Amino acid sequence: MIPQNNPLANYVSQKPAIDQAIDRVLASGQYILGPETTGFEDDFARYLGVSYAVAMGSGTEALHLGLRACGVGPGDEVITVSHTAVATVAAIEMTGARPVLVDIETDTYTLDPGEAQKALTGRTKAIVPVHLYGQPSNIKPLLELRNGSGKIRIIEDCAQAHGSLYGDRKAGAWGDAAAFSFYPTKNLGCLGDGGAVVTNSRSLHERLLALRQYGWDRKRVSQTAGFNSRLDEVQAAVLRIKLVQLEDNNRRRRNIARSYDQLLAAKDISLPRTRPESTHVYHQYVIRVKGREVRDRLKAFLFKHRIGTAVHYPIPVHLQPAYVDRLAVPGALPVTEACAQTVLSLPMFPEIPEKDILQVAQTVNAFFNKKT
């Protein structure tokens, strides 16, 4: 079976260095918020070109505490998208704020700045652009909205965009703060859960350090209410090893995407498009077909030929049972709902062999050529 993703292959490719790093942590006797975590925070901030990184227990907690650090709370509204992992909306609700969901751009699947502008109210406290599938959202118009209002914060959801570029800066270096996930399938993934918030603000950095550990100051006195969201030393050590390979792995992902672009010949497929000012890192390689029935038959056909695929995401957040008729959806979301019916993620991970890429493309082409 050709898997859609393969975190085991990523571990195996760096096994000696990762095993040595884990052994080093186990022998140290220091397992929470020690030198590995501090070292990773420094390494990651330097890589992104930001001033600070604060490691957290998961990407969801990173977004939650990033929002809280920016002052988001009950009575506020936070604009984001429905075409995303539920974690984005769950993190907003953890603050007590109200998610306001808007539509996405047809070609990039990321937040439509024009729709965000229409959704602004006097209660809007933040906008969370989701950098989806490895491509940054269109940030500059959102920064203009922030600068024009004087009170709106931009918190980037970078869970799928480690190392991607928008203009001359990496995703995560544009907003007031940015949240990353290190879930094992991510471009930069650990061997469990993990996350981080990055920022250029010293005051936000201090707030985040307190929020992740009971609101403690440096004397371990809770000056504010806080939480427990700490990246353990084993995961930090693993991430330090994997960060060294991130650029090479992202380059490999782009090469895989280029191969797919060249090999997929069916006219009935829409291939991924990259924003001209962006560098895509292909967390997912997502194609679109004409209609859910075709998508589901293609998915079944590929599975029959031992090729794994996934749908990111089959049900928009605003239509899921836990959220339907409860979230603020100021307008119709036709692009979002159409995407949910027609997108399909093909196998994408740096270690996929060339022969498997060819097999995937040939099988997709065969489906359409036979009019199956």
Q: Where in the chain is the domain with CATH 3.90.1150.10?
A: 246-369
Question: Taking the chain (372 residues) in consecutive chunks of 10 residues, what is each chunk's mean pLDDT?
Answer: 97 98 97 97 98 98 98 98 98 98 97 97 98 97 92 97 97 98 98 98 98 93 95 98 98 98 92 96 97 97 98 97 94 96 98 98 94 54
Q: How far apart are CA 350 and CA 267, in angstroms?
A: 27
User: What is the SS3 assignment for the chain?
Assistant: CECCCCHHHHHHHCHHHHHHHHHHHHHHCCCECCHHHHHHHHHHHHHHCCCEEEEECCHHHHHHHHHHHCCCCCCCEEEEECCCCHHHHHHHHHCCCEEEEECECCCCCCECHHHHHHCCCCCEEEECCECCCCCCCCHHHHHHHHHHHCCCEEEEECCCCCCCEECCEECCCCCCEEEEECCCCCCCCCCCCCEEEEECCHHHHHHHHHHCECCECCCCCECCCCCECCCEHHHHHHHHHHHHHHHHHHHHHHHHHHHHHHHCCCCCCECCCCCCCEECCCCCEEEECCCHHHHHHHHHHHHHCCECCECCCCCCHHHCCCCCCCCECCCCCHHHHHHHHHEEEECCCCCCCHHHHHHHHHHHHHHHHCCC
Q: Return the ∠ at Cα 332 (arms to 104 and 101), rounded to 5°.
A: 55
Say which amino acid occupies 76.
D
Q: CATH 3.40.640.10: which residues of the chain? A: 7-241
Pair of tokens at residue 164 = 């991607």
First to last CA, the chain: 21
> Which two tokens mark 310?
């996934």
What pLDDT sits at residue 371? 59
Give the residues across from 77 on adjacent strands. 98, 124
- What was the pLDDT predicted at 265? 87
Tokens (6 digits) for 367: 């489906």
Q: How far, CA to CA in Å, does 178 sit from each of 8, 55, 123, 282?
A: 27, 12, 21, 19
Distance (Å, whole) CA 171 – CA 49? 10
Q: According to the model, what pLDDT value does residue 266 have?
A: 80
| Beta bridge partner(s), residue 79 | 100, 127
343 within 8 A of 295, measured Cβ to Cβ: yes
Residue with tokens 């009971």: 214
Query: Is CATH 3.50.50.60 the right assignment for the domain spanning 246-369?
Result: no
Q: Which CATH class is domain 7-241?
A: alpha beta
